[in-house]
């Protein structure tokens, strides 16, 4: 099943927004979509939806999805993709700075690799507080992003959180954490260098020294292995990225 999902998502990226392709099949958003594929009949707000690759999966499963992005070019790809799939595109070209939905409207808010655009905790707090008003009590946030201390992806230290920081952030904004998974803690060949030096090397060079990430996708069972490993504290500490699902507390 997962192989079918991989192929479908890859085809969508390559056909509708090749320049935004996630890079390889170990990207955490494949896991995210796998989790989201359980949802049916939900009102979902995909914040920073880009070309709608994830949104189209949700809509195809009978959810009512609204995608929002600040970038008009991405939304054009979104609309093209939805029309190609005979789905109705519901998009907002706008920013999370301007809340536009009534309170308690959505069942699910999706922050897939977007909140780091908020740059610092103060901004992120404003964004999340504004948007979560539109989430029903008991509704869920799905959140994926880079681990702050992963020198491959968590560059721009101030933009990214560690897993614990993200947990604490959502808890302090009225959420109960339901699931946390660290994704892909496999080390780079440069793991032994001091962190400051690693982080100053250009990302393209760093990726060159990261064969596990590229090769692991061909190893049988890697996906189940990542899912198993990601629950342990060591994986949460050294992961490249992480997944959090949290529910808005009632009252």
In the complex, least distance from residue 232 CB atom to ligand SAM, rounded to whole angstroms: 25
Q: Where are the alpha helices (DSSP H) in the chain?
A: 2-16, 28-36, 53-60, 72-84, 121-132, 163-172, 195-200, 203-208, 211-215, 222-229, 233-238
Nearer to ligand SAM, 107 or 145 (CB): 145
Choose which of 44, 66, 68, 146 interacts with ligand SAM (CB under 6 A).
Answer: 68
Structure tokens at 158: 């101030």
Of 66-74, 180-188, 191-199, 202-210, which segment contacts ligand SAM by CB under 6 A?
66-74
CB nearer to ligand SAM: pick between 50 and 147 = 50
Which CA distances in Å does 136 have to 43, 89, 186?
Answer: 10, 23, 37
What's the chain's Rg over C-alpha atoms? 18
Residue 29 in the binding site for ligand SAM (CB under 6 A): yes
Return d(Cα 209, Cα 191) in angstroms, integer.
10
| Residues in region 109-168 near ligand SAM by CB under 6 A | 112-114, 117
Site residues (CB under 6 A) for ligand SAM, limited to 95-114 = 95-96, 112-114
Position 34 contacts ligand SAM (CB under 6 A): no
Between 21 and 209, CB nearer to ligand SAM: 21
**Binding-site member from 63, 74, 140, 241 for ligand SAM (CB under 6 A):** 74
Segment interacting with ligand SAM (CB under 6 A) among 70-78, 146-154, 211-219, 223-231: 70-78
Residue 86 backbone class (left: φ over 0; alpha: ψ -120 to 50; beta: rest) = left
Q: Among residues 48, 89, 182, 230, which is the contact residue for ligand SAM, using CB under 6 A? A: 48
**Residue length, the chain?**
251
Q: Which is nearer to ligand SAM, 69 or 187 (CB)?
A: 69
| 75/180 with CB nearer ligand SAM | 75
Instruction: Let me know how many helices (H) and strands (E) the chain has, helices first.
Output: 11, 7
Q: 145, exposed or middle or buried, with CB in 10 Å at 0-12, 13-18, 19+?
A: buried
Contacting positions for ligand SAM (CB under 6 A): 29, 48-50, 68-71, 74, 95-96, 112-114, 117
């Amino acid at each position: 099943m997962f192989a079918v999902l991989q192929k479908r998502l890859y085809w969508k990226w390559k056909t509708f927004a090749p320049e935004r392709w996630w890079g390889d099949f170990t990207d955490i958003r494949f896991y995210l979509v796998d989790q989201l594929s359980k949802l049916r009949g939900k009102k979902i707000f995909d914040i920073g939806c880009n070309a709608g690759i994830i949104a189209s999966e949700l809509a195809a499963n009978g959810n009512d999805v609204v995608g929002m992005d600040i970038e008009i070019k991405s939304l054009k790809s979104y609309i093209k993709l939805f029309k190609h799939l005979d789905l109705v595109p519901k998009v907002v070209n706008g920013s999370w700075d301007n809340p536009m939905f009534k309170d308690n409207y959505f069942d699910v808010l999706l922050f897939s690799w977007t909140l780091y655009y908020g740059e610092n905790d103060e901004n992120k707090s404003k964004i999340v507080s504004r948007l979560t008003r539109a989430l029903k009590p008991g509704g869920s946030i799905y959140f994926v992003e880079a681990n702050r201390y992963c020198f491959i992806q968590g560059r721009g230290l101030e933009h990214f959180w560690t897993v614990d920081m993200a947990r604490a952030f959502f808890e302090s904004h009225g959420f109960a954490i339901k699931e946390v998974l660290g994704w892909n803690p496999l080390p780079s060949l440069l793991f032994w260098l001091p962190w400051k030096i690693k982080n100053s090397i250009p990302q393209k060079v760093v990726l060159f020294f990261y064969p596990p990430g590229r090769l692991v996708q061909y190893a049988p069972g890697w996906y189940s292995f990542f899912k198993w490993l990601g629950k342990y504290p060591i994986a949460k500490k050294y992961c490249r990225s992480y997944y959090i699902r949290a529910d808005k507390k009632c009252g």
